[in-house]
Structure 1
Amino acid sequence: MFIRKWCESMVIEEPAFNGSVFLCKIKMVMKMIISASRRTDIPAYYTRWFMDKVRKGKVVVYNPFNGLKREISLKSEDVDAVVFWSKNFGPLIPYLDELKDKYRLYFLFTITGLSGILEDHVIAADEAIRQFIEISRMFSPGHIQWRFDPIVITSATGPEFYLKNFTYLARRLQGYTRRCYISFATLYGKVKKNFNLLEKQKGISLIPWDDEEKKEFANRLGSIAREYGITVYSCCNDYLVGDYVRKGSCVDVNAINELYSCDIKAPLNPTRPGCGCYKSVDIGVYNTCPHGCRYCYANSDIIKAKENYRSHDPFSDFLIARE
């Protein structure tokens, strides 16, 4: 008796008959969630490159820590979902009809109101809101999540600044999303370096808050959001969880399964302490985003990031050329 066990990750390539034995050449295909991207803003700056990879059905990524090369299939049958992260979806919006015919799509849209203060080249909040509403209408309020992230308390962006901005944004986004993700900036060494430079350039200095102050403030935001039908979730900062803030998963398999009535299987795969994300493959590259956000952990050198953006080839399998 011959018993076959099938699963989504097995594809028969070349059936053959050899004497009394039936031979099958099996190709293992692991379906995955594509993250585009935590490491750079692909919709804002690399849409042309991304669409070229979609049409070719593959992309090459390099591990940022060991440099190992890996080819990732972008064929629709090999992709569980695509999760987009962006501060500007404008360049991608014209391609969403094409993309939604191939993939399950999920959107994380960062709108903070920090443009021109801590974000040097990010579009204005009102333009971002317009794009957000357009995507929400094209899909649904469940497909697109608002990120008010990160919160950075400085001499120019204190509590009243954030309360005013958050209330305005929550009111404008009412009915167009159900979730808002928040966190307080993690002050990595390169981030502290950026803020030291900012203080010299513009006189804007960081103001330290302890965890209890942050938790109290986060729950104030959560209370405001609830008035507009939006639930606040923490991104990594578990100490923020309280009466008005829930533990968050930005790459959320459960939400995607509910939206698309599917059954994606993926393990939890935290990218840093407190992260609640499920496993995905990020196709972005560090030091390639020209937004110029002072709190950004993905750029160690904004000049290098701009150079990489200017020199990138949209038809290359990899986002930027390897040195």
Structure 2
Amino acid sequence: MDIEDLHLACLAQIPEGGGPCRLELEDLVESKKQVRAPQAREDGLKLFARVTESDRARALQRPPLILSCSRRTDVPWAFLRQYLKAFREGFMYVRSPVTGQMDPVCLVPYDELTGKGVLCISWWSKNYSKWIEEFKREDSILRSYKVHMFNFTVNSDDLVLEPGLTARLPERLQQVTWLAKRFGPHALNIRFDPIVHYRRVPELGIHDNLQDFEQIVCHIGGLGIRHITFSFCKAYKQSVRNMLSANVELVALSEAQQRQVLDRLLPLAARHGVELRCCCDTGLVGYRAQAAQATAPEVRKVRRWGLKKEKKEEGEKGEKGDKEKVARQLLAAPLIPEVGESRCLDARLADRLARDLGLKVTFPHQKDRGQREQCNCTGSREIGQYELQCPHSCLYCYANPKPVQPGAPGGG
């Protein structure tokens, strides 16, 4: 597939339901500042303050099984040192983004005798280099936590959209390789997120960040990673404001235009045995690439829950070795290019990882009510802090990124 087909100069300069995202005058005047996390209230506590004995006792009553670290900022890259100290102490304060209160959280590792403590940490990052170096240490506190899941955002190199991301794509793919070999490919959720279309003001041409997509899916497919999570950039006020402040205009796509993009990406990913799973957009789930875009005579989807019926029957007639052979053949078969549904933090996966380690434990599978309506993530205890400004300075971020510095590639 010609890489030029992936660029949305090909979408006939957008309209047809899509177009540039603008803010009303009052939105621009309202604030050019970053979103501010709730201010400290009467508790007077500061980030990473030592947890009091009374608060420790309170936190010990309900220790979480799964921690999320973190959707709110890039802890593994930018704040690992501070969090390692908290892990060693076994407790930390986390500010509620709703009330502003500092809540004590128990970080004590899981105890098989009592069945209490933190068993799993779901990590979120764009650069795991510091985390990997820390984990390689034999005495690292990270090794006290048995189950690790990795949400690894691997986008194309784009200094306009991600001016603070210092690790180039080859380095990040090397990190993916190390994590997959150490923890297994199923422990990783690779995220190409978000897919962004934009223009540099005052230029007229439309750009996107899809140029390295094929390289990424080719690499992860070769490691045995069978899915990649994506979403299209949404026009949150904060995201639009961040981009405009850097002389970049977000271009929103209509659903029809999004499907045109998927007509190109789906078969490309399927060619490498990778399924596209959509994050927080149920309207795209189940969409299949148009027949004209298919890359193989006929491709079929590998069922995540097992073999197809006819294959099962065929295997059952033979010996056990035949079953395994059939399974391998099916897993090697090409995928139907169809959008799946993402669950970036998945307790079912945590169950599997725990079983692989010989741990007899089942995680709660309830949906996380604190996330967006269409988010399928299961419940966890988020320990990120919005006050910790992410240094990647991604223009599309709707959390609290560090402002782009003047003279930076995305800073105008």
Equivalent of residue 154 in structure 2, options 96, 111, 122 = 111
For 2:362, the equivalent position in structure 1 comes to 263
Q: CA deviation at 1:103?
A: 2.8
2:342 is equivalent to residue 298 of structure 1: no
**Contact residue 110 and residue 149 of structure 1 kept, 8 A:** yes
Give the superposed CA RMSD. 2.2
**SS in structure 2 at match of 1:92:** helix
Q: CA deviation at 1:292?
A: 0.7
For 2:29, the equivalent position in structure 1 comes to none
Q: CA deviation at 1:221?
A: 1.9
Q: CA deviation at 1:160?
A: 7.2
Paired with 1:283 and 1:29, the residues of 2 have a C-alpha distance of 15
For 1:23, the equivalent position in structure 2 comes to none
**Contact residue 115 and residue 125 of structure 1 kept, 8 A:** no
**SS in structure 2 at match of 1:206:** strand
**Contact residue 89 and residue 131 of structure 1 kept, 8 A:** yes
Q: CA deviation at 1:79?
A: 1.2
For 1:73, the equivalent position in structure 2 comes to 106
**Contact residue 43 and residue 89 of structure 1 kept, 8 A:** yes
Which has the larger strand fraction? Answer: 1
2:282 is equivalent to residue 238 of structure 1: yes
**Contact residue 151 and residue 191 of structure 2 kept, 8 A:** yes
**SS in structure 1 at match of 2:88:** helix
Q: CA deviation at 1:216?
A: 3.6
For 2:254, the equivalent position in structure 1 comes to 210
Paired with 1:144 and 1:158, the residues of 2 have a C-alpha distance of 32
TM-score relative to the length of structure 2: 0.62
Q: Measured at CA, do residues 268 and 142 of structure 1 come closer, stay the same or move farther in structure 2, by a change above 3 Å?
A: same
Paired with 1:88 and 1:133, the residues of 2 have a C-alpha distance of 13
Q: What are the superposed Cα offsets for residues 108-131 of structure 1, whole Å, 9 maximum, x if unpaired?
A: 111111431200111211111111
Paired with 2:260 and 2:380, the residues of 1 have a C-alpha distance of 32
Equivalent of residue 281 in structure 1, options 335, 357, 381 = 381
**Residues 303-318 of structure 1 correspond to what in structure 2 (within 5 A)?**
none
Q: CA deviation at 1:94?
A: 2.0
Equivalent of residue 51 in structure 1, options 84, 87, 102 = 84
Paired with 1:94 and 1:260, the residues of 2 have a C-alpha distance of 23
**Contact residue 219 and residue 245 of structure 1 kept, 8 A:** no
Equivalent of residue 62 in structure 1, options 85, 88, 95 = 95
**SS in structure 2 at match of 1:79:** coil
Q: Measured at CA, do residues 277 and 210 of structure 1 come closer, stay the same or move farther in structure 2, by a change above 3 Å?
A: same
**Contact residue 91 and residue 104 of structure 2 kept, 8 A:** yes
Equivalent of residue 220 in structure 2, options 173, 191, 198 = 173
Q: CA deviation at 1:303?
A: 7.0
Q: Measured at CA, do residues 259 and 230 of structure 1 come closer, stay the same or move farther in structure 2, by a change above 3 Å?
A: farther
Paired with 1:159 and 1:192, the residues of 2 have a C-alpha distance of 16
**Contact residue 87 and residue 107 of structure 2 kept, 8 A:** yes
**Contact residue 34 and residue 82 of structure 1 kept, 8 A:** yes
Q: What letter matches 1:221 in structure 2?
A: L
Paired with 2:263 and 2:366, the residues of 1 have a C-alpha distance of 29
Q: CA deviation at 1:218?
A: 2.9
Task: Judge which range, 284-293 or 208-217, deviates more.
Answer: 208-217
Higher relative contact order (CA 8 A, sep 6+): 2
**SS in structure 2 at match of 1:174:** helix
**Contact residue 240 and residue 250 of structure 2 kept, 8 A:** no
For 2:133, the equivalent position in structure 1 comes to 94
Q: What are the superposed Cα offsets for residues 181-203 of structure 1, whole Å, 9 maximum, x if unpaired?
A: 1001122111111121222xxxx
Q: Measured at CA, do residues 175 and 256 of structure 1 come closer, stay the same or move farther in structure 2, by a change above 3 Å?
A: farther
Q: Tell me the number of residue pairs that the alignment of Structure 1 and Structure 2 aligns.
A: 273
Q: What are the superposed Cα offsets for residues 260-303 of structure 1, whole Å, 9 maximum, x if unpaired?
A: 22411141014113111111111111251111100001116627
Gaps of 5+ in 1: 1-26, 305-323
2:195 is equivalent to residue 195 of structure 1: no
Gaps of 5+ in 2: 1-59, 111-116, 289-337, 356-360, 406-412
TM-score relative to the length of structure 1: 0.78
2:185 is equivalent to residue 141 of structure 1: yes
For 1:318, the equivalent position in structure 2 comes to none
For 1:127, the equivalent position in structure 2 comes to 171
Paired with 1:274 and 1:130, the residues of 2 have a C-alpha distance of 32
**Contact residue 364 and residue 379 of structure 2 kept, 8 A:** no
For 1:29, the equivalent position in structure 2 comes to 62
